[in-house]
Amino acid sequence: MRCKRLFDDPYSDPEQAAELADSLTTASLLLLERLSPLERAAFVLHEVFAFDFAAIAETLGRSEAACRQLAARARRHMDDGRTRYEADAREAEALTARFLAAMQDGDVEGMRSMLAADAVMPADGGGKAPVWGRGTWGADRMVEKLAQMAPAFIAAGCALEPQRINGRPGAIFRDRDGRVLSSWGFDVAGGVITAVRIVLNPDKLQHLGQVADAWALLREAGSAGRGDGK
């Protein structure tokens, strides 16, 4: 039966996986993966697709009572996991906001205190935009690069707009006319930032709005020698 195959692997059936994805948040999908196949089946069939327990029992080959227990256990696991996830997400967003503020203020020690010692800053220009750092490794080197870059771009009228990027805390760097210069995604673990992922490739930014001419902005900021990644 198609339903049984789907819940052995919730993404194996494209049609039902799409329906499932439309009904659940990314966080919920991640939490679903932590349930047993039977718990996941009972939970999704009942909570998402509104199957009654008689139909679920027939689908799973279990008694109605057993299916009720499976759904109840799954609900507890989901609620517990969602509470932890939401708390972690709020903490990560708050940390990211503090880091962005420190960067705009030129607070070097503040930035360093929020970075893991082995934090990384990969940057994707796609050969179509200037890339600073070229995969900078280590908190000290990252802070040095950001301390060089941020004040010049902010002086040129750029602004950082906090925004979730690919489900993670992040920001959009815009020029004075509101055009997109880059996107910034932050990885957070253990109360510190472990990665700042910068995308400057205009082909990957178009869905965010009109894209700025990063080369022209770099020249205007007067930082070509510091921002060419060398």
Q: What is the pLDDT of residues 97-149, one digit of tens each?
A: 999 999 988 899 999 999 999 999 988 887 777 776 566 889 999 998 888 88
24-67: pLDDT as tens digits: 555 566 677 778 889 888 988 888 788 999 999 999 999 999 99
Q: How far apart are the first and last CA of the chain?
A: 58
pLDDT at 20 over 70: no
What pLDDT shows up at residue 58? 92
Q: Could you give the domains of the chain?
A: 2-87 (1.10.10), 106-227 (3.10.450.50)
The structure tokens listed for 167 are: 């489900």
Q: Span 14-18, mean pLDDT?
A: 50
pLDDT (tens digit per residue) in 73-90: 888 887 776 555 555 778
Average pLDDT of the segment spanning 177-189: 90
Residue 167: is its pLDDT beyond 50?
yes
Q: Tell me the pTM.
A: 0.59
